[in-house]
Structure formats: C-alpha cells, structure tokens
Amino acid sequence: MTAYASLETRFSRLSAISGAAGILGWDAQTLMPDGAAEARGDQLAVLHGLAHEILTAPETADTLAAAEAEGGLETWPAANLHEMRRAYLHAAAVPRDLVEASSRAVSRSEMVWREARRDADFPRLAPHLAEVLRLQREIGQAKGTALGLDPYDALLDGYDPGMRRAVIDPLFADLTSWLPDLIAAARTRQAEGPAALPLDGPFPVDTQRQLGLTLMRALGFDEARGRLDISLHPFCGGATDDVRITTRYDEADFSRALMGVLHETGHALYEQGRPTAWRHQPVGSARGMSLHESQSLIIEMQACRSREFVSYLGPLLREAFGRSGPAWEPDNLFRLYTRVEPGFIRVDADEATYPAHILLRYRLETAMIGGDLAVADLPGAFNEGMRDLLGLTVPDDRVGCLQDIHWPSGAFGYFPTYTLGALAAAQLFRAAKAAEPALPGCLAAGDFAPLRTWLRANIHGQGSLLTTDALLERATGAPLGTAAFRAHLEARYLGG
C-alpha cells in the first residue's frame, strides 16, 4: 500500500467518526431528553478526542510526509493530499485535552442556552459562555501560532479556508457605505405602493410540514438520504449520506418554517451533491461555510423569493391551507416575501437588512476573541449595536444576544460567512441565469432541475478541489465582491 492509499484509509475512518458525532449532535438538538445531556457531552467529547488522536498521531505526520515525497498524484488525489495536510495542521496545533474540554463545555453551554433563551435569562448562560469563549481563545491562539495567523483568523480559517479579516473588512466596509441608503429607499418605495395584505391563520403544523416536504421534493432533496425534523434553532447537520435538516413552526405564521425549510434544503442539496467517489475524503467535503451559505441563500433568497417562484408557490399555498382571495394572489405574496423591515430576529430578517445582523455579530465576536469585550458586557454591546445598525430597542435578551446558538456552541468565526455567502449567492445566481436563460421560467413551473444541475456541476460536485476564490472565478468569472449583491437588491427592491 502506498503512503497516499494508507492516508485514504485513515481519513475514511475519520469521516465515519465525524458522521457518528454529527448524528449524536443532531439528536441532542431534536429528540434527546434533557437528562441525557451530561452523558451525551461525554460521548461527543470521546468521539472528538478519538478523531483528534487519529489525525494527530505520529504515523499520520510520517505518512503525510511520505505521500508528499512520493508525488506523482493526479488532480483529485493531489488536492485530497493538500486537504489532508490542512486538516492535520489545524488538529495538531490543539492538544487533545483542550479538544475534549471544549467539546464538554460546548455540550453544557448548548443545553443551558435552551433554558436561558426560553426565560430571557442571560446571567444563567454567562458563566458557561465565558468558559466556551476562554477555550475558543486558547484554540485560536494555538492554531494561530501554528499557522502564522492571529487567533480570530485562525478560527475563521476553520470555517472558511483561506478567508481572512483583511478580505472581510473591505467587503463589509463597502456594504456599510451603501446598504443603509438602499434600505431606506426600499422602504420608501414600499410605502408608496400597495400595502401588503396579511395572511390570516391559524396554519396547522402538520399542513406546514407537508408543504415543506412538497417543496423539498421539488428542489431535489433525496428523502432516502435525509429527513426533516423540528429544533429550537433551524440547522442542517447529520452525516454523509444521512443529511438531517430541521425547522421550527409557528401556527400564526407559516412563512418562518417554510423559508427555514427552503434555506436548509439549500444546504442539504450541497451535501447530497458532493462528489460521490470522494465523499469520505477531505477533498469531497464542501468548500467552506461561505460557499455553503451561498447554497442555502441561492435557494431561499435568490430563487424562492423571486416573482417567478412566488407565482408557482401561490396555488400550493391556497390548496394547502384552503384559502383564497386577494391576500393569496402572487402579487401580494411577492410583496410579503420581499418586504424590507428591520426586525430583532436574524433568521427571520429580509435579505436587505440581514447583513446588519451579521455586521454586528462580526464586530462583537472579534472583540470577544481579541479580549476587548467581556461576556458580562455582551448584552449591552449587542443592544447598542441593534440601535445603531437597525434603529431597534431590544426588549429582552431572548430576542437579543440569546437568540443564536452559535456562540454557546463555540462557533466563533462562523457568522461572517452568512453575508459572504449572500454575496457569493448573488454572483452565482447571475451566472446560472446567464448560462441557463430559461431558468426563471422553470422556477415559475416549480422546475428546479436546471438550477440544481448547474450548481451540481459548478459547486456541489467540485467538493474542495479548488479554493473558494478559484471556484467562484471559474463559475462566475469574478472573485468575491459586492457588485452582484448590490445589483440584485436594487433590481428587486428599487426596480433598478
């Protein structure tokens, strides 16, 4: 067996361990009884520790060096070896005891967060979040030392390979320079047009679920390799060939669950479309979270809030809920689904105001990792940012800094990928329409095959063969930027 073949076997085992941890993590957020939290935390810590031990074993380093010395690999195996080395460098920088301590702290913090969020009780979470932050700072410092990066960039690199604050900051500064005026102009234009008519409930949860499944099938979700469930915070997780997505339901407003399902199905399509031959190897993984978020947003925002898709959705809604009348006509539905209105909840935000939520979280988490913001001061800083960026006064921490699970889960460095993903989604959708001129008409008929086929060829099926920049340039002809996103918002909300 060659050194490279030995590595493939080793990384296939790591993929299986990761999949097991993914299913246990999904269960912890959906079905697990609260009393099992401590035991589950221990189980996940052991799995994460075991994966870390395999990845950082001396023989892994020796075999990597031997495979690199052998050379002669073709394109995909060579890229796989590069990704193996990258995974090793990230893992070897962090001691196993720190990996397990972080895993246990996260498990405890996530369970306390559920109670704290429910009761709007930040002090209950604060000590647990402080411990998670302390450990994430240690991990960031350890990785930063090994990779030659500052701690935040080192954490960011774990979610979005190659991404740096030096790239993000100019993009976010550009957004900040024109987005407030665009939001104001969009709201003025809305006010001058017909008022959106409300959709009166209640909307039974079972009907909402069946509608969600119908649209998942239309999008191309493979139900033989995934499922839909309920969780406090919508997410896409699970394992290779077993993709679990979740949403949350509100009988007074079906759109939250519906758009959540569409968003998470975009993630799931990426996972189900990864290159089959490499699905248990690093090169077969999704190419970072900015591109992953682009896939959820190209479905939810670019395609499924388009006028064409809404014309297809209208009859489905009327049949599912047994409603009729002007409020259920496509023009009114389009006004509802493209309404620009600042709100407290990030996951419910429209695509124009959504970046403000991310700008705030990016500012806060970089300050926390940098030691410039203490956990005790987070609620006040969050509330001040909401006033500055969206003009809103936060009534309690449940709709403030407790609304997201990311920080209790230790996901520092994740938040900026949401808006980077929105920028990429705009570029990709523009390129897809240029390549497939019939695409808008297909969306009006509920036919996602042309879009899905284009994404499979240009994003999903490429795995981690290329860097994010190279993948975007090949697919769209340009590096990541704000121009396509701005043009999209102006066209949809200002008629430009």
Strand runs labelled E in 190-297:
226-230, 236-239, 242-247
3-state helix, strand, coil in the chain (%, to 5): 70, 5, 25
HSE at residue 292, side-chain half, CA atoms within 13 A, is: 23
Give me the helices (H) in 346-447, please: 354-369, 378-390, 416-435, 439-444
Residue carrying the six token digits 């709100």: 343
Count of C-beta atoms within a 10 Å radius of residue 136: 24
Q: Give the strand pairing for 242-247 and 236-239.
A: antiparallel
Q: Does 264 qualify as catalytic in the annotation?
A: yes
Alpha carbons 84 and 67: distance in angstroms, whole number = 11
Contact of 190 with 320, CB cutoff 8 Å: no
What are the beta bridge partners of residue 238? 243
Alpha carbons 292 and 265: distance in angstroms, whole number = 11
Return the sign of the alpha-carbon dihedral for residues 163, 165, 169, 175.
positive
Alpha carbons 160 and 362: distance in angstroms, whole number = 14
| Three-state DSSP class for residue 246 | strand
DSSP per-residue string spanning 231-245: -SS--EEEETTEEEE
Alpha carbons 290 and 419: distance in angstroms, whole number = 8
Q: Could you give the dihedral angle defined by the CA atoms of residues 274, 275, 278 and 283, in that order, rounded to the nearest 10 degrees?
A: -70
Alpha carbons 57 and 214: distance in angstroms, whole number = 47
HSE at residue 285, side-chain half, CA atoms within 13 A, is: 25
DSSP 455: H
- Annotated catalytic residue: which of 83, 110, 264, 271? 264
Catalytically active residues, by annotation = 264
